[in-house]
């Protein structure tokens, strides 16, 4: 299986990212991808608000032959699904919005499976601009993935298969198996992403693809296999 669009990538503007934007572009070209989403963390991670305003207003759609989606990985701050999603006078023209739990706000640590799940479900239901729930099998924040997948199906939100969490040991692999079983049964949309922060992670999907060997890939709807499928998922024309 080939993934041509990586919808979760961090640059130097995230405090945890290692590369400049143009270095990320170069790495993606070396990987042979068609597109990626620049999804630096929201302001609670100390990413400057100016990063988002400049990106949204000035970044061209195509950079060195790659389609670059203007995005963010927002952090879920409360059980109500409040996000650190910056808004500007010219609106919210993000093309790709991820949201996940990250040890911030009311969730400095896990509040238990019920509270964690309420936060993610409310994020999905109360924030129609959210396209993808990031790393829903994070060891630190266990979820009722049956309830999360139901909410995702209702809204057309994708749940992420995060390669870096498998690579770095942050993944609850039992939870990921459960997520994939629900997805195969219900038709939940999935996004297979690198969550790359450094060159050997960016645009790299091998751990996640190997994990999927136990599943009938045809039963899983992975939205970012091609540029065309990604554009359709994000509701974009080009």
pLDDT, one tens digit per residue, over 222-234 is 999 999 999 999 9
For the cut 80, the answer to whether the pLDDT of residue 25 exceeds it is yes
Q: How confident is the model over 111-131, as a mean pLDDT?
A: 98
Task: Report the domain count for the chain.
Answer: 1
How do residues 40-63 score in pLDDT, each as one tens digit? Answer: 999 999 999 999 999 999 999 999
Per-residue pLDDT tens over the stretch 171-186: 999 999 999 999 999 9
| Tokens (6 digits) for 218 | 């045809």
Given this model, what pLDDT does residue 216 score?
85
Question: Mean pLDDT, to the nearest integer, of 183-200?
Answer: 97
Neighbours of 217 (CB within 10 A): 12
> Quick check: 229 and 18 in contact, CB under 8 A?
no
CATH number of 42's domain: 3.20.20.140
Domain range holding 196? Answer: 5-234
Q: Quick one: how far is CA 47 from the chain centroid?
A: 17
Q: How far apart are CA 40 and CA 170, in angstroms?
A: 19
Tell me which H or E stretch contains 7: strand 5-9
Alpha-carbon distances of 57 from 7, 90, 91, rounded to whole Å? 20, 9, 11
Helix (H, G, I), strand (E, B) or coil at 67: strand
232: DSSP letter: H
């Amino acid at each position: 299986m080939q993934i041509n669009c990586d919808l979760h990538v961090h640059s130097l503007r995230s405090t945890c990212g290692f590369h400049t934007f143009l270095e990320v572009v170069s790495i993606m070209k070396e990987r042979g991808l068609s597109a990626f989403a620049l999804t630096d963390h929201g302001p609670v991670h100390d990413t400057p608000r100016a990063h988002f305003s400049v990106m949204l207003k000035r970044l061209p759609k195509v950079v060195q032959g790659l389609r670059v989606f203007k995005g963010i990985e927002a952090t879920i701050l409360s059980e109500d699904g409040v996000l650190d999603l910056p808004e500007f006078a010219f609106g919210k023209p993000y093309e790709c919005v991820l949201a996940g739990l990250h040890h911030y706000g009311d969730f400095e640590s896990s509040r238990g499976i019920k509270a964690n799940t309420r936060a993610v479900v409310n994020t999905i239901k109360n924030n129609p601009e959210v396209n993808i729930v990031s790393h829903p099998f994070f060891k630190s924040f266990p979820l009722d993935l049956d309830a999360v997948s139901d909410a995702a199906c209702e809204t057309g939100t994708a749940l992420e298969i995060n390669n870096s969490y498998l690579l770095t040991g942050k993944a609850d692999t039992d939870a990921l198996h459960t997520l994939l079983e629900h997805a195969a049964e219900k038709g939940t949309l999935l996004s297979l992403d690198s969550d790359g922060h450094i060159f050997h992670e960016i645009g790299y999907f091998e751990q996640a693809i190997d994990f999927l060997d136990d599943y009938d890939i045809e039963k899983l709807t992975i939205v970012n296999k091609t540029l065309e499928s990604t554009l359709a998922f994000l509701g974009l024309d080009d």
